[in-house]
Amino acid sequence: MNRIGIIDYGMGNLGSVTNACRFLNLPAEVVASPDRISDCDALILPGVGAFGDCMAHLRDHGFVEPVLAWIAEDRPFLGICLGLQVLFAGSEESPDAAGLGVFPGIVKRFRLPPEYKVPLIGWSRVREKAPACPLFNGIPDDSYYYFVHSYYADAASEEYAAGVTSYGVDYASAIWRGRLMAVQFHPEKSQKLGLNMLSNFAEGVS
């Protein structure tokens, strides 16, 4: 079975992602050094915290160039939460911090009427804009997943937006391009359907 590397860059929800993979009997292991990436067949980039801190930690740990090379080679990659946001050029959260720049655009902060709580914490629907995305295999459209975030990828109309969530504004809650996939929500905390999604990612690794 192919190895899945969970990138440890000094911050992120490693425990919950690792535990979910272990529960699913997936061959996942924490990768704390970029020279271990070559031993992997797929990568997961988890993330919690601030955009600027995440990028600083990725740079300090030497992961930026290897991750960009991995994505450029169209190898299996899954970003989770902040791991989706750092794929963009930057974020309003950390204006002076450049993102990985895989996708253009700046991640925006929710600016919503008072009835919307920010951060968004809890269960929200994902509308499948690209049902053919491998992550959605066997999962009903408009399913609920668990979100925790104050910033969003304003890319709902882009062709790489595989899933869209509405929270005062429509935004890309899942993106897909080739073997690159990322989700704004936490599949590892989204019960059965989230675990199904992680299994779907693993099944696409070869």
Residues marked as catalytic: 81, 186, 188
Residues 36, 100: Cα–Cα separation, whole Å: 20
Residues 55, 66: Cα–Cα separation, whole Å: 14
Residues 68, 175: Cα–Cα separation, whole Å: 16
Looking at the chain, how many residues does it have?
Answer: 206
Q: Is the CB of residue 124 less than 8 Å from the CB of residue 185?
A: yes
Residues 205, 69: Cα–Cα separation, whole Å: 17
SS3 string, 132-186, reads CCHHHCCCCCCEEEEEEECEECCCCCCCCEEEEEECCCEEEEEEEECCEEEECCC
DSSP 3-state assignment of 63? coil
